[in-house]
Amino acid sequence: MPAGFWASNRSRSSPASARSRRMLSCHGLVPMWSVGRCRRASFRLLFFFQHASLSGFTSAVSHALLESFVSLFFPPHCTSCSTRVDAGLDFCLDCGDSIEFIHPPRCQVCSQPFDGMAGEFECPNCRGAAFHFECAVSVVRSRRVIRELIHRVKYSREIWITKTLGRILAKGLADSRFSGQQFDALVPVPLHPKRLREREFNQAAVLAAHLSKYSGIPVRDVLLRHRYTGTQTALDRAERRQNLRNAFSLRKNTPVTDQNLLLIDDVLTTGSTLDACAAVLLEKGAESVRALTLARG
């Protein structure tokens, strides 16, 4: 795992102390929910001064001093459990060790990992399936820490977590299935307007924005979800495909002809949502469609 992804062995602690840190911050005085507020405050402060037109804050030295000031009053914490970590780290050792990155052997189409297999293969879910996307790369399994963080983003509106998730998502661009591929745009999977009003943001669009900063690939929000499908958690692949029939369309005046597009979403379960989106893009003239998701359910 790359250096700087999570803390060293000195961050390891007992389950009991980990549980206690979930209730208190590193100082033992601040509730865990305050950590998110502190991080959001520090992001706002850095953003203001980085974009301010004041000459005193435009030099590299001033920015370094400002970041030191923010680190002093808002020290870095593990994104998951709020344990103190060194600067530049996203996770403590315990939380980092629980994240399962997907490597071969895995399905070359949907990234489903399998133990005991060798090389690339097609899983039973994809064998014989006529997906419209060429492949769907997922970076990690949707388990433990990752599943919890995704739920906190979607259902507790802790959007600050997406900065860390975006860094994890960016690792997927190095997947061999994308080798030599130049993408014209990142296309987030859309939410229905009703769901968007309830949640107030589209997590796929937020992740795509972070990925765009890391990769330089522009985001094009070209898809509309005009049929409310409700939650699909309990549906199998056939039921999901039926549920998603005619659910998506292309926005007016957003041509995608001859473009190589990368669909972005948070979790891939059966691939039905990505397939429905890819079908619309190909029908409207896209050259190719691939997909990248943070997690594989």
Write out pLDDT tens, residues 84-139.
999 889 999 999 999 999 998 999 999 999 876 666 678 888 887 889 999 999 99
**Does the pLDDT value for residue 1 go beyond 50?**
no
- Domains along the sequence of the chain with CATH: 80-296 (3.40.50.2020)
Say how far apart CA 175 and CA 120 lie, in whole Å. Answer: 13
According to DSSP, the residues that pair with 141 across neighbouring strands are 296
**Does the pLDDT value for residue 28 go beyond 80?**
no
Mean pLDDT across the stretch 209-237? 86
Mean pLDDT across the stretch 207-218? 98
Output the average pLDDT for the chain: 82
73 falls in which pLDDT band (50, 70, 90)? low
- What are the tens digits of pLDDT across the range 132-159? 999 999 999 999 999 999 999 999 999 9
**What is the pTM for the complete model shown?**
0.76
**Does the pLDDT value for residue 249 go beyond 90?**
yes
228 falls in which pLDDT band (50, 70, 90)? confident
